[in-house]
Chains A and B, each alone.
Chain A
Amino acid sequence: ETGVTQTPRHLVMGMTNKKSLKCEQHLGHNAMYWYKQSAKKPLELMFVYSLEERVENNSVPSRFSPECPNSSHLFLHLHTLQPEDSALYLCASSQGTALYEQYFGPGTRLTVT
């Protein structure tokens, strides 16, 4: 499946680094999501964008900063992360935000050292 792509697939960063995760969807969808998946909490919704406007910020620390320049692209900017932020970060998209299935990308495996 290549409907939703994510780069990089793996990332190792130190706590003082700044990095960005990129997501691109080729499905013509209007909504995009960031999820964090870890062993402790399987799927945590972080941010939701609908028509490029952020409609949900699920109490995520400010060291995570999303950006949605257009309906096809979504970024997650990372800075001064903590080791407990190590997880799989999944991007998803859907046609809309109500009663629509979500299509997930392959994820970025992030390790914070």
Chain B
Amino acid sequence: GQQVMQIPQYQHVQEGEDFTTYCNSSTTLSNIQWYKQRPGGHPVFLIQLVKSGEVKKQKRLTFQFGEAKKNSSLHITATQTTDVGTYFCAGPGTKAGKSTFGDGTTLTVKP
């Protein structure tokens, strides 16, 4: 089935440093979603990208969808301790409703 691979698995940064997580697929994706899960919490939807080459921003977060719609990235500028958590990308599955989540990137931020 369709899979999305996410890297890196873990990222440790100093507060104020930038952070990027990447999501890659071997097949073209109709859309890609990003979620954030705080420690002890549940995944929360952040954004959805649909168009080739699309770039969306939410404050310090920048989301990109590749031109070929096979990869996506989430970039956080000047990380803060509130950014800690696991960031998941999710692509559509081969069947209706079967979203495929990446394994996530867990971000820790040292004050």
Binding site for B on A (CB under 8 A): 1, 31, 33, 41-43, 45, 48, 50, 55-56, 58, 90, 92, 97-99, 101-107
Contact = CB atoms under 8 A, between A and B. Distances in A.
Contacts, number: 60
Nearest to B9: A42
Interface of B: 30-31, 33, 41-45, 48, 50, 86, 88, 90, 92-93, 95-101, 103-104
A99 B97 contact: no
Contacts of A43: 43, 88, 101, 104
Contacts of A42: 86, 88, 101, 103-104
**What is the predominant secondary structure among interface residues of chain A facing chain B?**
loop
B45 A50 contact: no
A24 to B, nearest CB: 15
B42 A97 contact: no
Given A42-B86, A99-B48, A33 B97 contact: yes
A55 B93 CA distance: 13
Given A45-B98, A56-B96, A106-B41, 11 more contacts: A41-B103, A42-B103, A43-B43, A50-B97, A56-B98, A58-B98, A90-B42, A101-B45, A104-B43, A106-B42, A107-B42
B67 to A, nearest CB: 20
